[in-house]
Amino acid sequence: MDFLYLFEKDFHYLLPELFLTSSILILLVYGVLLATESSFNYPILVRNVAWLSIISLSLSAYLLVNQGLVGNPLALLGNLVINDSWTQTAKVIICLSGMASILIAIQYLEKERLNDFEFSIIVLLAILGMLFIVSSDDLMSLYMSIELQSLSLYVLACYKRNSVFSVEAGLKYFVLGAFSSGLLLFGISLLYGFTGCTHLEDLGKLIVTSSEVTEGLLTVSNGIKVGLLFVGISLLFKIYAVPFHLWVPDVYQGSPTAITSFFAITPSLSVVAVLSRLFYCTFHDLLVDWQLIIVICSCLSILIGSLGAIAQKNIKRFLAYSAIGHVGYFLMALATGTSEGLESLLLYIIIYIITSLSFFTILLGLRKQSLITQSTRKEFQEGEIETINQFQGLARMQPVISFSLAVLLFSMAGIPPLAGFFSKLYVFLTAVHNQLFFLVFVGILGSVLGAVYYLRIIRLMYFGQSNDWETFEWISKERSIISSSSIFFVLFFFLYPTPLLVMIHQAVLSF
């Protein structure tokens, strides 16, 4: 009787994950069977599986929304996972961003002749891992979920097997990712050894009850502190925080651009969500200890991300350092240790995902077709934009796209009244309210430096002189819809931000 009750409750709240798992297995069988038929073979099969994957993610998102917001947290699968409004909101965002990532990659895969239907299935596996990461309420389920996500991302990084750069990126990601997973496992073993528990809620209670209070501060065993340090370092590695960032520019540059867009858009949210649960729930009584680590990583990420981006010429390395800088603002919001900090964190991540998605959509669509010089017309093999200097004079050839890119870059730089300005403003106000003045100063300095390297691209597009005239392919309808809707959001968010802010507030109430 108890088993039937548990199964009924768990099945209802785990239905999106179960449906996505079933979809992955069905799509894998579908692809294997039809791959042997010449009439259904490449690249038709790639597009079919991609669209079926998008439908699977959309149905998973619908199932999540249909559950309604959960008031009190629900423990599922024997306390291995948890379901509340925070996890539901994060899961819906992950599913939607995953759908968009696959959608903007379809045309790219066909142009680059990456005619393997497994791409969409591997992306679905990574997203499934992200969904379980967000829901993890136990250190062991957290480790297994992170491994599912990481193994999928390793394969995606070296997906372009005939490219030396892609294989190198995948190998670097695998070696360093395996090292960070080892650190996570070592930290978990220390926490389990000193407490005898891996469940997050019970772990927090045991830490408090087994510790002493001296002059108003909690004195905790050094073994627990070291375990927390290793777990935190491993998770900070996954979100590209400095000083655990050295692999990021190489992986961004070596991976195919469509896969780089997926790296930049989706995985950070899942790890930030579980970091929030760890620091705000399990280890909240150790605020003094973990807050210092987060503040240091935030300052370093903002400064090194901004300074590194200024020196870059390759567009994907530029975006890698830009992402590192934005992670610094994630950590600034996380370091406050308050519910307002969580709200500003989620708002910043949502706006960052939308802006990055639109930027990569346009970048993937800017494929060169021909070059017209002053004396003659020369055809050459099509290709994507690789360096920042290739944006020179783009406004003359593609005025609408140049305007769209300018809006996105202004938003990333935090120029009012665009959405990026309000996300940074909310983070700064929250940090000031919690007396993190030095961190706010570093954040403002990073924003000034960010304006330098973002405005450099805008200057090249509108004021750069080029004697050559390049033509580009038409951007597909799917990409046009995604980029135009994202730019509309960025431009007019300030007119009616209430629905998004209410949704974020309801998500944070679970803490």
pLDDT digit string, tens, across residues 206-256: 777 665 655 555 566 778 888 888 998 999 998 888 888 888 888 888 888
pLDDT digit string, tens, across residues 154-193: 998 888 888 888 888 888 888 888 999 999 999 999 888 8
Separation of CA 138 from chain center: 22
Q: What angle do CA 392, 362, 391 make, to 5 degrees?
A: 5
C-alpha to C-alpha distance for 238 and 288, rounded to whole angstroms:
23
C-alpha to C-alpha distance for 273 and 262, rounded to whole angstroms:
18
Q: b/e per residue, 456-475, with b = 16+ CB within 10 A?
A: bbbebbbebeeeeebebeeb
Reported confidence tier of residue 339, pLDDT bands at 50, 70, 90: confident
Tokens of 83: 């379901």
- Comparing C-alpha atoms, which of 374, 357, 377, 373 is closest to residue 365? 357
Reported confidence tier of residue 346, pLDDT bands at 50, 70, 90: very high
C-alpha to C-alpha distance for 185 and 164, rounded to whole angstroms:
31
User: What is the predicted pLDDT for the residue at 478?
Assistant: 80
Q: pLDDT: is 492 or 218 the higher one?
A: 492
| Residues 355/411, Cβ–Cβ less than 8 Å | yes
- Comparing C-alpha atoms, which of 337, 304, 145, 351 is closest to residue 235? 145
User: What is the predicted pLDDT for the residue at 436?
Assistant: 87
Q: Where are the alpha helices (DSSP H) in 136-247?
A: 139-157, 164-195, 200-209, 222-238
C-alpha to C-alpha distance for 454 and 424, rounded to whole angstroms:
16
Query: What is the separation, in whole angstroms, between the first and last Cα of the chain?
Result: 32
- Comparing C-alpha atoms, which of 328, 333, 321 is closest to residue 302? 328
Q: What angle do CA 178, 315, 349 make, to 5 degrees?
A: 65
